[in-house]
């Protein structure tokens, strides 16, 4: 039995589909079952609740031997310190997985060797340490910046020909597509041969700066698109004006600062230790961003 968390999220939804395609027994944990596709409701067992809740995760892991784990975003307005949130959300799952010998495939960040504070990324890395210290059989899918984050910029690209972030305009920003993350997660869940603990770093084939991304986007959407780098302090202040808690705004700013300082290059191992995924940035823009801009 494979248990899958966040089955209505971008990655979890794709993982569920891939695992069901292989005819595996699947159980999903979801707060609102009405958000599940008709296929998932028909073919998977459904446990309603939060996978951060001890009773819910205990029920979901009964008779299971594999778990896909992804910590969902905290509430925008009342988010607590990210590290505390990640660890408290994960603690019950870690305890249950360890006691039952459940193998866990988790979504985390590249950059384990980074020495500074990295907000949400540090929180994800602390989550890895919790699973490992608990003796859980664990594969950590260590990831850089999601290409899908740029879908939030579709309106600005369409209306103004710009997209904006606080990431350095001239520093390469490794990226990955969620479809490649889901493919890697499903492959590990379906592989019954592995044991122990290991990191699985993934990144797309490109190492583009945001300025270079703008050139690719321009070619894809057929108009000039420019990148605007927002000062980090302005980025943090804008988040708080939109209602983010001070803790979340700080954690987001720390994350971007770490990205600008090279956290994704800090992962231990040689350059060949990062698996290059299939989807390049141009292909992703053609398949995903261009339709979003046109709509």
228 located within any domain: no
Residue 223 lies in a domain: no
**Do residues 113 and 77 touch, judged by C-beta distance below 8 A?**
no
Residue 213 lies in a domain: no
In angstroms, rounded to a whole number, what is the distance separating the alpha carbons of residues 78 and 74?
8
65 part of a folded domain: yes
Residue 90 sits in a domain of what CATH number?
A: 3.40.50.720
d(Cα 170, Cα 204) in Å, to the nearest integer?
18
> Does some domain include residue 222?
no
Give 41's contacts (C-beta < 8 A, 6+ positions apart): 33
Task: Count structural domains, the chain.
Answer: 1
Any domain includes 30: yes
Whether residue 284 is contained in a domain is answered as no
- Per the structure, the complete domain to which residue 269 belongs is given by 2-146+176-203+262-279
Q: What angle do CA 79, 176, 211 make, to 5 degrees?
A: 90
Asked if residue 211 belongs to a domain, the reply is: no
Give the pLDDT confidence score for residue 267 in this predicted structure: 84
* pLDDT, mean of each 10-residue run, the chain (295 residues): 96 97 96 95 96 96 97 73 93 97 97 93 97 97 97 96 97 97 97 94 96 98 96 94 89 96 84 80 98 94
């Amino acid at each position: 039995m494979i248990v899958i968390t966040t089955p209505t999220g971008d990655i979890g939804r794709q993982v569920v589909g891939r695992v069901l395609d292989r005819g595996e027994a699947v159980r999903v944990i979801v707060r609102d079952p009405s958000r599940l596709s008709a296929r998932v409701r028909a073919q998977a067992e459904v446990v309603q609740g939060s996978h951060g809740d001890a009773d819910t995760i205990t029920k979901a892991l009964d008779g299971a031997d594999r778990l896909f784990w992804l910590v969902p975003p905290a509430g925008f307005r009342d988010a607590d310190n990210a590290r505390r949130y990640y660890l408290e959300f994960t603690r019950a799952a870690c305890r249950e997985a360890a006691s039952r010998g459940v193998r866990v495939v988790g979504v985390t960040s590249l950059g384990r060797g980074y020495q500074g504070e990295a907000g949400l990324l540090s929180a994800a890395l602390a989550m890895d340490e919790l699973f490992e210290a608990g003796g859980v059989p664990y594969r950590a899918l260590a990831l850089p910046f999601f290409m899908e984050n740029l879908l939030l910029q579709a309106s600005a690209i369409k209306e103004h020909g710009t997209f904006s972030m606080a990431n350095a305009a001239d520093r390469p920003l490794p990226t990955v597509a969620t479809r490649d993350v889901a493919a890697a997660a499903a492959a590990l869940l379906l592989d019954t041969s592995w044991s122990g603990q290991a990191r699985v770093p993934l990144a797309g084939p490109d190492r583009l700066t945001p300025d270079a991304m703008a050139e690719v986007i321009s070619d894809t959407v057929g108009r000039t698109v420019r990148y605007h780098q927002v000062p980090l302090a302005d980025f943090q202040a804008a988040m708080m004006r939109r209602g983010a808690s001070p803790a979340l705004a700080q954690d987001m700013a720390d994350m971007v600062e770490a990205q600008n300082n090279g956290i994704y290059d800090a992962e231990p191992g040689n350059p060949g230790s990062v698996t290059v995924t299939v989807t390049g940035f141009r292909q992703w823009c053609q398949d995903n961003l261009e339709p979003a801009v046109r709509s």
